Structure 1
Amino acid sequence: MKLHAESEAVAPTEVEMQIRGLMMDPVTNMPIVVLKDVASDLILPIWVGVFEANAIALELEKSTTPRPMTHDLLKNLAHGLNARVNKVVVSELRDDTFFALIWMEQGGEVIALDARPSDAIALALRWDCPIYVHRDVLNHARQSADSSPSVSTDELRQWLENLNDDDMGRYKM
């Protein structure tokens, strides 16, 4: 667990995103969370694990389970400790792996916890808090996609950008 004790204010380098959809990658058959800039048409696909996609899908669909799932337990634990998740930030892209921070406050102290973006997003949905992506991550992701020699990567990005609302809800648990 990595803790940061920095300011949690929204930095000008952070871009607020919303979940545009959750779907299956037609090439790899892996789940993708598609984030969209709230102020533009810029999108960021993040491939996630099946279990994390299910946790996100459950919350997007407002489905309840008979017992708390892991992310529900984490929310209940934080709430029981009088802590609050204020925002999550996809903070870094290194070696094709995204990294995130969960910004929390407890007892007047602000901390940032290192997390996988899928877990951070699942918690953000449960806390109804904003999701941000660092501008450098967006730029790096765009450069990686543009410089990729793979035709399927370019085709996938174009396919993602042209999806309609019906296509975005095609993830099945």
Structure 2
Amino acid sequence: MEIEMKIRGLMVDPSTNMPIVLLRDPESDAILPIWVGLYEANAIAMEVEKATATRPLTHDLLKNLVQGLNAQVQRIVVTELKDDTFYAVIWMVQNGEMVAVDARPSDALALALRSDCPIYVAEEVLLAAKVLPNPADSQASAQDIRNWLENLGDEDLGRYKM
């Protein structure tokens, strides 16, 4: 089963100074942190803020390439968490056929934002990963999330590979 998630925001891991994308399940308000690279975090942040570059960035090029091949990104799915590494698949339709493309979650998320398509996470990934449930008021503040991250053990912080 796959759970639709939304990008809640970006943070910095206080232990490693690496960016973290926070995915939120609107139904349960659970938050899944995915550590990403600096370039990918910048690409995600630019799209969230609707900022534009003077020239196409890599993820813009990827979107243009998909469109140029008469395909459409339908959804992305974070499919697996294996050996502390997240895996994702980009699902596209081309000429009426579904096409699956293996991708890093950070690249898939950046493309999903540019393609305005849904983001899903496999239920097994949510069960295996360190997931933050929002407080009872269902609105975790940035400070709540920062406190949660700071209280993770060394074995958790920065362990997920891009």
TM-score of the superposed pair, with normalisation by structure 1: 0.77
Instruction: Letter of the 2:128 partner, please give it.
Output: H
Checking the alignment, whether the CA contact within 8 Å between 2:31 and 2:133 is kept in structure 1 is: no
Matches within 5 A, 1:152-163: 163=140
Greater mean deviation of Cα atoms: 98-107 or 37-46: 37-46
Q: Residues 140, 79 of structure 1: CA spacing in aligned structure 2 closer, same or farther, 3 A cutoff?
A: same
Instruction: Letter of the 1:15 partner, please give it.
Output: I
Shift of 1:43: 0.9
Distance 1:123 1:95 in 2: 24
- Tell whether 2:141 aligns with 1:164: yes
2:81 to 89, 93, 111: 93
Shift of 1:158: 8.4
- Tell whether 2:24 aligns with 1:36: yes
TM-score of the superposed pair, with normalisation by structure 2: 0.82
- Tell whether 2:82 aligns with 1:105: no
Distance 2:104 2:74 in 1: 17
- Tell whether 2:52 aligns with 1:64: yes
Distance 2:70 2:143 in 1: 39
RMSD: 2.3
Structure 2: stretches of 5+ with no match in the other structure: 146-162
SS in 2 for 1:45: strand
Shift of 1:14: 0.2
Structure 1: stretches of 5+ with no match in the other structure: 1-12, 146-156, 169-173
Percent identical pairs in the alignment equals 63
Distance 2:16 2:52 in 1: 29
1:121 to 88, 105, 109: 109
Moved over 2 A (4+): 165-168
CA offset digits 1:25-82 (Å, max 9, x no partner): 1111000000000211111000000000001001000000000000000101111111
Checking the alignment, whether the CA contact within 8 Å between 2:73 and 2:92 is kept in structure 1 is: yes
Distance 2:144 2:50 in 1: 19
CA offset digits 1:135-173 (Å, max 9, x no partner): 00000114xx7xxxxxxxxxxx589x98415888xxxxx
Q: Tell me which protein shows more helix as a share of its residues.
A: 1
